[in-house]
Amino acid sequence: MVVRAFPHRASVILLFALSVSSGSAAAQRISRPTEKATPPALLNPAYDSSLYSNPSGTSARFKALQWRLVGPFRGGRVDAVAGDPTRPLVFYFGAVSGGVWKTTNGGQTWRNVTDGNSDISSVGAIAVATSDPNVIYVGTGESQLREDLTYGTGIYRSTDGGKSWRHLGLGETQQIGDVVIDPRDPDRVYVAAIGHAFGPNAERGVFRTTDGGRTWRKVLFIDDSTGATDLSMDPTNPRILFASMWKFRRTPWGMSAGGGRSG
């Protein structure tokens, strides 16, 4: 089993992997010769809110899990990671000033899928559509703002698993913190825009498209100094969306983060 991990400000990608030796697996089969097939309900369990409200109750499930380094061996920060919901060994990660990288073998090898066919550089968010994993959205401009930062040029979309990219606008958002796709519709997407780091601007907050990025509508705006940095969609009801708002200002001599109408 492979589980996605989302490290912030990391220089490598890590995966959770459960290792079971072939000998122990064989022993389990021998000890249970009459073992029945797992019911479909257990293979695809219903959404369990207790996993989030009482995480300590599930700690036993993770005791056998261990972190392993899967590279790639490169410098810089990793700001976004996303996995293909249908292929457990396919992952994408976005580097700060390094574009988008893809693995199809669980991290044994990586290749850059944006160099030469897009102007994507600084990446703050990646999302893969549940209903069509060939559809990928990338929000540019790193999301973990700090003393040194790089800005982006808006949001991009691929419909062929990263082979080609199309710019969808929102260029003045500069820093995009998150992208969320409706699990039923790959054309319905929400973008959390932090906005300009060095001064006020209006192109910040939460934006929504219902036509795959041809048009955008600003659906949440606090003020010209408070942007959206994170989004969370109810997996059982995509009409329910939570947004984190963050006031941030970078100056040549320091930073001011939080306060105001953050929340």
Measured at the alpha carbon of residue 243, what is the angle toward residues 113 and 126, in degrees to the nearest 5? Answer: 5
Q: What is the pTM of this model?
A: 0.77
* CA–CA gap between residue 127 and residue 66 (Å, rounded): 25
pLDDT at 226 over 50: yes
pLDDT at 79: 86
pLDDT at 33 over 50: no
Domain 2-257 in CATH 2.130.10: yes
Task: List, in sequence order, every residue forming a beta bridge with 127; answer none if it has no partner.
Answer: 137
pLDDT in tens, 104-122: 999 999 999 999 999 999 9
* CA–CA gap between residue 263 and residue 243 (Å, rounded): 8
Helices vs. strands in the chain: H and E counts, helices first? 3, 18
pLDDT in tens, 81-105: 999 999 999 999 999 888 999 999 9
Q: Which two tokens stand for residue 121?
A: 């550089």
pLDDT at 123 over 90: yes
pLDDT in tens, 144-190: 888 788 999 999 999 999 999 999 999 999 999 999 999 999 999 99
**Dihedral, 98, 100, 101, 104 alpha carbons, nearest 10:** 180
Q: How confident is the model at residue 38 (pLDDT cuts 50, 70, 90)?
A: very low
Beta carbons of 120 and 141 less than 8 angstroms apart: no
Beta carbons of 158 and 136 less than 8 angstroms apart: yes
Percentage of the chain modeled with pLDDT above 90: 60
Mean pLDDT of 134-139: 97
pLDDT at 238: 92
Q: How confident is the model at residue 239 (pLDDT cuts 50, 70, 90)?
A: very high
Mean pLDDT of 201-228: 96
pLDDT at 51: 60
Mean pLDDT of 193-207: 95
Q: Which residue has the tokens 């009482």?
A: 54
* CA–CA gap between residue 248 and residue 23 (Å, rounded): 54
Which helix (H) or strand (E) segment holds residue 29: the answer is helix 22-31
Q: Which two tokens stand for residue 47?
A: 């959404």
pLDDT at 8 over 50: no
pLDDT at 74: 67
pLDDT at 75 over 80: no
Grouping H, G, I as helix, E, B as strand and the rest as coil, residue 31 is helix
Percentage of the chain modeled with pLDDT above 70: 76
pLDDT at 146: 81
pLDDT at 66: 83
Task: List, in sequence order, every residue forming a beta bridge with 102; answer none if it has no partner.
Answer: 92, 111
